[in-house]
Chain A
Amino acid sequence: MLELIEAALQRPNYIAFVVLFLWGLFIMVTHPNMVKKLVGMYLLQTSILLLLVTIGVKQDATVPILQGSDAVLSTADQMTPADYTNPLPHVLTLTAIVVQVATLGVSLALVTALYREYGSLDEDEILQGIE
């Protein structure tokens, strides 16, 4: 048990991911205010990005741009991959951020339209207003 706790404490990023993910999910599902729902959605999406960046980390590695003698074409075969971080998770993160921003844009547009029509941001109030 103690080892498990110790192992978990050595990986703060994963703990942060779990906390943010569940927190976001909770807000998103339970909160009646629509803008707060979106805040929850944003938290949830960002927590996944945090996980994605975390798995790309290597100890003592640098940015994935060939440096020093590695940049010479003739010696490119001898470079050590362990010196460079994995660029792919970062690329995926960038793409996921774009998707996230687009989602947020569409959802805020919907919320604005709802607010104009019903004068409220609270889902329960709006539903009452309709009935």
Chain B
Amino acid sequence: MTKKIVNRVLVSIPVLIGVILIIYVMLNVIPGNPIEVMMAEHARQDVIDRISAYYGLDKPVWEQFLIYLNNLLHGDLGVSYKLNRSVNSLIADAFPYTLKLAIAAALVSWIIGIPAGILSAIRENTIVDRLFMGFSLLGVSMPVFWAALIFQYIFAYRLGWVPVSGAETWQSYILPAIVLGWSSAGTIARLTRSNLLEVLEEDYIRTAWAKGLSQAGVILHHAFKNALLPVITMMAIQVASLLSGAVITETVFAIPGIGRLAVDAITNRDMPLLQGTVIFTTILIIAGNLIADILYSVIDPRIREK
């Protein structure tokens, strides 16, 4: 078991290095000096040169990469071109907002998605099932930014129940969490439903019925644990989609999180900031997958042993 976890951690290291390399290459192959591009025509050449030297841009690309990698190993993501602050501190400021939003959205998606999936499976092909599945497909097909705007219009502007945007109070997170959680809830509900339906066909479910268990007993005790295994993997992948979705949700609701940082970095052509946010988010996702794998093997005795 411990060996398996260690192995799994070791496997994710090359992936991590690959991620960093790809991001670095993609962001640094752009021809021309990024400082020049950023400052456009306004700056004098000697100023550009001085600033370039400050950021280490006068060195060869491979050396820049090694320096970046070395800094990264020490937990240093570099300095933002535009804001002249360390990317670390910018991310440290922004991350709590994104984390709060992601947790709230994840809660929304589990609290809605899992019960909806169970109910749909139990009441397969009834009105309840169709309704839930319709809603979840709607959630999956809905552009997040558009849903955000609609929610803002109805619940904040028209009804005035919650703030339109911002992140000052906990109420400001309600709309973003629902918007972001809905599409994940759809995915989770569909997955829970299909897994549960599959598990309900298993022989051991028949055994559970034959023992004299109630429907609740059969489903919650015997079917749910088995059906949940793939859902857990899904939840890890969901972390990725939540963080992706957060980019848009944060933009629409003016939440100063990581996503906003990334969008601002693109608008300002602030390469180190974009690089830092993408690498940071990707590390989170890899960690999420790792945790899901470990959780999976803790729950499933068949895997636990191998």
Q: Do chains A and B interact in one complex?
A: no
